[in-house]
Amino acid sequence: MPLPPLVELLSSARVVALPLRTRFRGIEVREAMLFEGPAGWTEFSPFVEYDDAEAASWLSAAIDFGWRELPVPLRTRIPVNATIPGVAADEVAGILARYPGCRTAKVKVAGGDVSLTDDVARVAAVREALGPEGRIRVDANGNWNVDEAEHAAHALEPFDLEYIEQPCATVEELVELRRRVRYMSIPVAADESVRRAEDPLAVAEAGAADLLVIKAQPLGGIKTALQIVGRAGLPVVVSSAIDTSVGLSMGAFLAASIPELEYDCGLGTAELLAADVTTEPLSVTDGAIDVRRVVPDAALLDQHAASPERRDWWLARLKAVYAYL
């Protein structure tokens, strides 16, 4: 389908700056652009450091969600994981309390200023809080080399990991790490090697991962992501990119359209935000979020509007990325 006219996107565009509860992914405020299409509100929120080429997939996803028909959802609720940033171990219980009913926790590890000893203490605190039946996955965001990742796998093995997400940056490193840790039966998941790769299927074709973490915006939208899932032939976890509840709804509809959803999804991240754009956010209840469209609240859009300078930056970005598409 052709792109909607740029003027149509600009006519309803709103830029917000939402504070986070805890510093996450190196940021304390999440900026996002929202606009309304004939199918409903949608989100364009590539991270500020991404260039036009990378941001183009995010705009394609926003247009797909706001202007085109969605696949018929197969479920109305999506089980989700709690997300534990790189905090001290004594903060873990308080963060888990924001995720009522969640049986799975994703723990950030391998932060630049945090040691493996700190990571182990954080994961141990999560295991103590969840009990033996809880599931724990850790996410290194590609910050380890192979030797570091192997060492970390040994240190974290006693906590019965569900999987290690993006332990190393490259496909080649993931292949080597899987070979080294196979005897420990710790699965390896790929995230950045899918969403930031020229070929998102390369990691599956190389045998570099046991499962894939997919996100609707970076992969160009729900339909494109579903095609990748079908061709990869691996189990998947649908996750988010610190979206507003509008963006999370896109992820929820993606998860709802996958025939076999074996893992809890990383779509409970509205809890990371100290503010949202709606009075009815996609919050976690009984360990899951609803699959539904989200309509922003006008007062909240005004309250959390980005500064005029940041709004102009995002409008210029939208025009540049639209021209790229």
Closest to 63 measured CA to CA, from 22, 100, 33, 96: 33
- Catalytic annotation present for 319: no
Closest to 121 measured CA to CA, from 93, 96, 154, 88: 88
* DSSP letters for 274-301: S--S-SS----BTTEEE-------HHHH
- Catalytic annotation present for 106: no
> Where does residue 289 rank: exposed (0-12), middle (13-18), buried (19+ CB within 10 A)?
buried
Residue set of the binding site for Mg(2+) = 139, 165, 191
Residue set of the binding site = 139, 165, 191
Active-site residue, selected from the candidate residues 106, 215, 223, 319:
215
Six token digits for residue 250: 């896109």
* DSSP letters for 197-220: SSSTTHHHHTT--SEEEEETTTTT
Q: Distance between CA atoms of 149 and 160, rounded to whole angstroms?
A: 16
Q: Distance between CA atoms of 287 and 76, rounded to whole angstroms?
A: 13
Can you name the residues that pair with 190 across neighbouring β-strands?
Answer: 212
The CA–CA distances, whole Å, from 122 to 63, 133, 319 equal: 39, 18, 43
Could you list the active site residues? 108, 215
